[in-house]
Structure 1
Amino acid sequence: MRKQHADVIVIGGGLGGCMAALSAAKMGLTVIMTEETDWIGGQLTSQAVPPDEHQWIEQFGSTATYREFRRRVREYYKQNYPLTKTAMEDPLLNPGNGWVTRLAHEPKVALHILEQMLAPYVNGGKLTIQYHYVAEEAEVKDDVVQSITVRQLHSHEKIQLTGSYYIDATECGDVLPLAGVEYVTGAESKDDTGEPHALDEADPMDMQAITHVFAVDYIDGADFTIEKPEQYDFWKDFVPSYSNYPLLSWHAVNSQDTTTLREFTMFPNDQDIPALFTYRRVLDFNNLEKPIYDGDLSLINWPQNDYFLGPIIDVSETERKKNLENARQLSLSLLYWLQTEAPRLDGGKGYPGLRLNNEALDTEDGLAKYPYIRESRRIKAVQTITEMDVSKELRGEKGIRTYSDSVGVGSYHLDLHHTTNSNRTFYIPSYPYEIPLGALLPIRVKNLLPACKNIGTTHITNGCYRLHPTEWNIGESVGYLVSFAITNKVGVHDVRADANLLTSYQKLLQENGVQIHWPDGTELAGG
C-alpha cells in the first residue's frame, strides 16, 4: 500500500472540500484532496444543481472567493459564447434565465472555473487531487486521527494518507464513522433539541430525499423518446402519502405553503401556470447571437424526481445500492412520462422533443455523475444550531442571531424536502444566519473537521445551512482554521476557547474576504 503525506488531508472534492483545499494552499500548506468522481465541485458540477442563493448575493452575504467565482462564470460566457448585445452588456447576466437562481449556468462552466481557481496550487505542487478515491479506513489514537486509507474505485489501489489535519468534505459524512466521530443522522426528537418542529420521537432513518438530476434540451418536432424504464409502471402509479395525485403529475407541494399542492406545467404560458422547464434552465437560447446549441438546456431537479422511499446513509450496502438505483429509475421514469404522457396545455400529451443531453454532464445517459445529497451525517458539535437560532417566527424581534465566534454568513429558508419515513416537508421563513465556529468542532476528536453539510446542525436547520454559498463558506473557513492552528501551534478547539486566538483567526478570515456578520438592518430589507 502506498503512503502519501501532506499538511492537510481533504476527503471529498465538493464545494466545501475545494474551498478548504484552496484556503489551506493559499496559506502555504500542502494539501491532498480526494474525489469520488472525476469532477470536483459537488453540488455545482457532478450533482448538477445550479446555485440556490439569497436575495442579497450580488452585493454581500458571501465570501470574496464565492463572488469571484460568480464573476468568472459571467465572464466565461461573455468571452467564449456568441451572446446577444443585450446579454453581453448585462452586468448581472443569468445565462439560463432560470427562475430558481440569479446565476443559472452549465455544470461544465462551474467545473472549468473551479479548476482554474485551484490550478496555481496544483501546478505549484501545493495541492494534489486524487480522483475516483473513497475513504475506507481511519486510524485514531487518543482522539487524534493518525491516518486515513482511501481506495481507488477502479483499480482498488489503496493509499494511506497522513497529515496534521483531516477534513471530511464527503457528501454523506463518510469519514465520521470510520474515525469514530460522534454524529447524528435523520430527525432528532423534541427532547433532543427543543425544536417545535422536531419529531416527538427521534428517527435516525428519516432523512431528506435525494435527487438524481438529469440534463435535457428541447427540439420541437423531434422524437427522442427513451426506452421505457424498468420501473416506469411502478412510478407512474405511485401516489405519495401527501398527495391525491401520482408523483409523476403536474401537481406538487406548494413551497410557500407545504400543506397544499400547486399545479405546474412544462413551458412558459399565458395561463400563469409555473413552467418547470425554465426553473433550472442553464442555457437560454435567447441569450445567443448564433445557434451553437440546438435548444435551451435545463437541469431537471423537480419535486417529481425527489426520491424518498429509503435512505442511503447507515444502511447495508445492498440497501444503499437499491435506493441509488431506484432514484435513478425515478428520474428516467419522469423523463419518459414527460416525453410520452405529460398533459400539455393544448390538450395533447407528451413532449417527445425532450432529449437527454449527455454532453452537458459528461455521462453516457445524461444523468448526473452523482445524486444530489441534501442531508449528511452531522457531527455532534461543541455547539449545535437549532430552529430557535434561525426561525423568523421563533426569533421575532430579536432578528438575526449573532455569534461571537462567527466564521461566515448565509441565508435561506428552513427548506426540507420530503423525508424517507415521515414524508414531512418544511419551508419555514428564516432570518439570515451566521456560522458559529462551535458548529464546526467535534465534541471529542481533535484534528478532524467537517466542511459541508456535516456540521453541527439539526435535521431542521440543515435545511438552510446546506446551500451552495454556505457550504463554500464553511469549507473556506475550515481551511483557514487548520492553517491558523498549524501556524500558531495550537489546537482548533483552543482557537474558540481563547479570546485572543479567536480574534486573530477572525481577523485572518476577514483579511481574506470572509464576511462574518450581516450588515445592520439586513433582515428589514425583506429577507
Structure 2
Amino acid sequence: MDCIKTVSQLSLVCLTLVSNILAPFSSIAAPPRNPDRTVNCDILVAGGGLSGAATAYEALLLGKTVCLTEITDWLGGQISSQGTSALDERPTQRAKQFYSRGYLDLRNRIEKRYKGDINPGDCWVSDACFLPKDGHELLTAMLRDAASRGRGKLEWFPNTVIKELEKSSDGKIIDSVYAIQHQPAKGAPPINASTLSQNIEDAYKYENSARLTKTIIRFNPKQTKIANNAPRWYVVDTTETGELIGLADVPYRLGIDPLSYLEPSSSSTTNDQYCTQGFTYTFAMESTKDAQPQTKPAYYDQYAPYFSYELKRLADFDLVFTYRRIWSPGEGKPKTFGGVKFTTPTPNDISMQNWTWGNDYRPGTAKDNLIYTKSQLQATGQLNPGGWMGGLRTEALSKGEEKAFSYYYWLVAGTTDSQLGDGVKVPVPNNRFLSGFNSPMGTAHGLSKYPYMREGRRIIGRPSWGQPEGFTIAEIDISRRDYSEEYYRTTLPADMYRRLRAALAGLEAASVLSGKVDPNKAMRRTRSTVFPDSIGIGHYAIDFHPCMEKSPPEAPGNRERPGERRGAGQAYPFQIALRAMIPQKIDNLIVGGKSIATSHIAAAAYRVHSFEWSAGAAAGTVVAFSLKNGIAPYQMVDDLPRAEPQLLQLQQMLKRNGNPTAFPDTSIFNQNWQDWK
C-alpha cells in the first residue's frame, strides 16, 4: 500500500472516514439534479397492489388528494401485475358477501365485465378466475369513480419506485419523499419487453441509462398547517415486500419467529430471517387443438430435478391446468380426479400457473434469500443515503424467472417427477406458452410483471398493553388447532406449554398458570382473538409454501424446511388491529397489506385478496380521520385497554362506510365460531 505523502491526501482520507461514519445518520442524499417534479398530497401510497388501491379508494371517497406509486404499470398487484387473478376466499364469507365495500364493488365489476359470470375461466380453486388485464382496468375505473364521487384527487405514478425518505430532525416525521419514475429511453424497447430482474437495478438509479429515462419526483405534504401539531400528511407502505419499512429502518421481522407459547408451531427455536415463503412468477398457457413445437430452455436441466405434481391425488395434467383456468370460451367434459370435479380443457382455454412444486421459487438461506435482512442491507450499502435499491436480491428474481419458464416446459414435455417417481408425468404437447404485450400477463416474455409475493417484512408494532416488546398478531390468535395434541404436550417445555394453554383458556387462565387447573383439562376457546382496536377483517387458512432447506432450492433431493408446515391449517375469522398498522419510531407512516404486525405463521393467513383490501380500506380511513381530527393514529390506541373515544369514532365511521371491523355475531360472548368455514 502506498504511503500518504501530503497533508491534502491525509485530509481527504479523514474526510472520507468521517463521511462514512456519519452516512447512516444522514436523512437523505442530494440527487444528481433537482427534482423534475414536486407533487403535494395528503397521502402518499407506495405500492399499487390491492391494499394500495383500497387505501386510495377510501381516501378519495373522503375527499383527499392521493399520490399512488407502483413499480409496474398495472394497478392490482395479486389480481393483475402478479397474475394471480383467482380470488382466494372462504366459503362462508363468500356466501354471506361479508366484505369491505370496495372489494364488493370490484367483484361486481368483474361479474359485469364477463356478462354475469364472475368465473369466466371455470376454474375450480375459486369462484372467481379472470384475466389479469381486466383487474387493472377495473381498478383504474374504480379509483376514477371514487375520486369523482368523493371529490378527491388521484395522482397516479406507474413505473415508479421510492428512493429516499427525508425525515424531521427528531426522526418522527417523514417530511418528504423522493421517487424515480422511469420510461423507455429513446430507441429502447418498451418496459415490459424485459423481465423485472433485467430492469430493477436500473430503475432505482437516479441517472438516465441506455434503457431508461428517469423523472425525479419529490412528494411533499399538501397541507401547511394542521390542528394540534399533528402530522400534515401520511405515507402508507403497501408495497409487496415492506419496502419502506426496510428503507425507514423501523423495527420489523422477516422470516421465521422463534418457538414460543404464542408461536408454538414454529419450526425453529431461534428466528430465521432467510426462510420466507416462496415467491412465484406466474404465466399463462393456452390449450390448443394440435400439438405445438416446444422449446427446451438452455437452463432447464438445472431446475428439472425440482418439478412435481406433489401428491398422487393431484397427478393429472387436466386437473392442474383447470386449477386456475382464467378463460374458457368452450365447455369441456365433466371429469373427477382425486376427488376434485372439473371440466376438461378445450382449445383456446387459458390457464394461469401458480404451483408449489412448479414455478414457486423457495430460497431459504443467506446465500439466496430474496428479501434482504437489515444486516444484508447494511452490507450492500442500501441503508446509506442514496443507496436504496429496493432491498431485493436480483439474482433470486432472475432464477425465479428461469424456473417459471422451465416449469412450463416440464408441464408440456417433462417425463420426471421429483416426489412421485417414474411413470407419472407424460408429455402434453397440445399447449402453447402465451407471450406478447397483448397476452394475459401483458409482457413480451410472458411472465407476470412482478412475482406473486406471499410474505415480506412485517413491522413490530409499538409496545402495547400485554405486549411490552411490541404488538404482534400471533399464531394462537387465529388458529383452530387443538394444542392438546401429543406433539405440543411432549415437545414444548413444560412452562411454555402451560402458558400456551393459559393463553387459550379465557377466564381460566390464572388457574392454569397457578397450577390449580391441569393445562390439558382447561377450556379451549373456539374463536380468534377479539381486538378492541379492530379496524378490518379477514378469513383464510394458514397456508404455507415453505422455503427449501438447502441452497440452491432446486438442487436434486432438496426438501422443504422441516416443520414449516406444522403451523398450517384452518383459521377462525380474524381481525385487523390498528396497532398492527402503526410502526415504531415514525408517527406519519402507516402500514397496510402483508407487512402489518403479524408473526410468520399468522402472516400465512393474512395475505390473501380480501384481507389486503380490508387492510387498505382501513389505512385510507385511518389517515383521512387523523387528518380531519388533528390526531396521530397511535394516539387512538395508546391508552388501551382503557376506553379510547376517538378510536370508537373511527370504528363507527368504518362501519358506516361499509367496511366491517368484525364478523357477524363474533364477540367475546360468543365462544363458538366453528360454523365459519
TM-score range, shorter chain: 0.7 to 0.9
* Of 165, 170, 176, the match for 2:239: 170
Contact 2:257–2:266 (8 Å) recurs in 1: no
Contact 1:61–1:410 (8 Å) recurs in 2: no
* Of 449, 452, 456, the match for 1:376: 456
User: Is 1:249 the equivalent of 2:301?
Assistant: no
Residue equivalent to 1:364 = 444
Partner Cα separation in structure 2 for residue 286 and residue 129 of structure 1 = 38
* Of 522, 535, 547, the match for 1:419: 547
279-288 vs 382-391, which deviates more? 279-288
Residue equivalent to 2:353 = 300
* CA shift for structure 1 position 526: 5.0
* CA shift for structure 1 position 347: 8.6
User: Is 1:51 the equivalent of 2:109?
Assistant: no
User: Is 1:399 the equivalent of 2:527?
Assistant: yes
What does 1:264-275 align with in structure 2 at a 5 Å threshold? 264-267=315-318, 275=319
What does 1:55-454 align with in structure 2 at a 5 Å threshold? 55-56=91-92, 57-78=94-115, 93-120=118-145, 126-141=153-168, 142=170, 143-152=172-181, 153=203, 154-163=212-221, 164-191=233-260, 194-225=263-294, 227-237=295-305, 247-252=306-311, 263-267=314-318, 275-286=319-330, 295-303=348-356, 304-309=358-363, 310-314=368-372, 315=376, 320-342=393-415, 349-358=426-435, 359-382=439-462, 383-393=471-481, 394=483, 396-421=524-549, 423=561, 424-425=564-565, 426-454=567-595
Residue equivalent to 1:8 = 43
Contact 1:213–1:300 (8 Å) recurs in 2: yes
Contact 2:263–2:601 (8 Å) recurs in 1: no
Instruction: Give the direction of change, closer, same or farther, for the CA distance of 1:285–1:427 in structure 2 (3 Å limit).
Output: farther
Q: Amino acid of the residue matched to residue 285 of structure 2?
A: V
Structure 2 alignment gaps of length 5 or more: 1-34, 182-202, 204-211, 222-232, 333-345, 381-388, 463-470, 484-503, 505-523, 550-559, 667-671
Q: Amino acid of the residue matched to residue 660 of structure 2?
A: Q
Deviations 1:61-120 (A, max 9, x none): 321211121111011100xxxxxxxxx5x6xx4221211111111112211211110113
Residue equivalent to 2:198 = none
Q: Amino acid of the residue matched to residue 235 of structure 1?
A: Y
Partner Cα separation in structure 2 for residue 348 and residue 406 of structure 1 = 48
Partner Cα separation in structure 2 for residue 499 and residue 324 of structure 1 = 45
SS of corresponding position for 1:298: strand
Partner Cα separation in structure 2 for residue 352 and residue 207 of structure 1 = 34
Instruction: Give the direction of change, closer, same or farther, for the CA distance of 1:296–1:68 in structure 2 (3 Å limit).
Output: same
Q: Amino acid of the residue matched to residue 357 of structure 1?
A: L
Partner Cα separation in structure 2 for residue 512 and residue 235 of structure 1 = 49
SS of corresponding position for 2:317: coil
Partner Cα separation in structure 2 for residue 177 and residue 249 of structure 1 = 35
* CA shift for structure 1 position 319: 7.5
Deviations 1:291-327 (A, max 9, x none): xx95111100011211113322115579711111111
* CA shift for structure 1 position 194: 4.5
SS of corresponding position for 1:58: helix
Structure 1 alignment gaps of length 5 or more: 79-87, 238-246, 253-260, 268-274
Q: Amino acid of the residue matched to residue 335 of structure 1?
A: Y
SS of corresponding position for 1:402: coil
Partner Cα separation in structure 2 for residue 64 and residue 39 of structure 1 = 22
SS of corresponding position for 1:36: coil
* CA shift for structure 1 position 494: 1.4
Q: Amino acid of the residue matched to residue 407 of structure 2?
A: L
SS of corresponding position for 1:449: strand
Contact 2:79–2:135 (8 Å) recurs in 1: yes
Deviations 1:371-413 (A, max 9, x none): 1111011111132100110111255433232211111111111
* CA shift for structure 1 position 486: 0.3
436-445 vs 32-41, which deviates more? 436-445
Residue equivalent to 1:515 = 660
Instruction: Give the direction of change, closer, same or farther, for the CA distance of 1:136–1:490 in structure 2 (3 Å limit).
Output: same
Instruction: Give the direction of change, closer, same or farther, for the CA distance of 1:323–1:166 in structure 2 (3 Å limit).
Output: same
Contact 2:362–2:546 (8 Å) recurs in 1: yes
Contact 1:207–1:420 (8 Å) recurs in 2: no
Higher strand proportion (structure 1 or 2)? 1
Q: Amino acid of the residue matched to residue 411 of structure 2?
A: L
Residue equivalent to 2:385 = none
* Of 474, 478, 500, the match for 2:615: 474
Partner Cα separation in structure 2 for residue 463 and residue 160 of structure 1 = 35
Instruction: Give the direction of change, closer, same or farther, for the CA distance of 1:60–1:120 in structure 2 (3 Å limit).
Output: closer
* CA shift for structure 1 position 179: 1.9
Partner Cα separation in structure 2 for residue 334 and residue 472 of structure 1 = 31
- Percent identity over the alignment is 30
* CA shift for structure 1 position 191: 4.8
Q: Amino acid of the residue matched to residue 298 of structure 2?
A: E
Partner Cα separation in structure 2 for residue 198 and residue 404 of structure 1 = 30
Contact 1:108–1:361 (8 Å) recurs in 2: yes
* CA shift for structure 1 position 342: 4.3
Structure with max Cα Rg? 2
413-422 vs 324-333, which deviates more? 413-422
SS of corresponding position for 2:648: helix
* CA shift for structure 1 position 224: 4.2
Partner Cα separation in structure 2 for residue 156 and residue 469 of structure 1 = 34
Contact 1:356–1:365 (8 Å) recurs in 2: no
SS of corresponding position for 2:452: coil
Partner Cα separation in structure 1 for residue 261 and residue 73 of structure 2 = 39
Partner Cα separation in structure 2 for residue 65 and residue 263 of structure 1 = 35
- TM-score scaled to structure 1, two decimals? 0.87
Partner Cα separation in structure 1 for residue 424 and residue 120 of structure 2 = 31
How many residues are paired up?
486
Residue equivalent to 1:28 = 63
Partner Cα separation in structure 1 for residue 174 and residue 180 of structure 2 = 18
Instruction: Give the direction of change, closer, same or farther, for the CA distance of 1:400–1:319 in structure 2 (3 Å limit).
Output: closer
Partner Cα separation in structure 1 for residue 125 and residue 288 of structure 2 = 23
Contact 1:409–1:518 (8 Å) recurs in 2: yes
SS of corresponding position for 1:338: helix
425-434 vs 31-40, which deviates more? 425-434
* CA shift for structure 1 position 496: 2.5
Deviations 1:120-148 (A, max 9, x none): 35677701111111111111222111111
Contact 2:252–2:460 (8 Å) recurs in 1: yes
Partner Cα separation in structure 2 for residue 471 and residue 6 of structure 1 = 23
375-384 vs 118-127, which deviates more? 118-127
Instruction: Give the direction of change, closer, same or farther, for the CA distance of 1:347–1:449 in structure 2 (3 Å limit).
Output: closer
Contact 1:205–1:420 (8 Å) recurs in 2: no
Residue equivalent to 2:489 = none
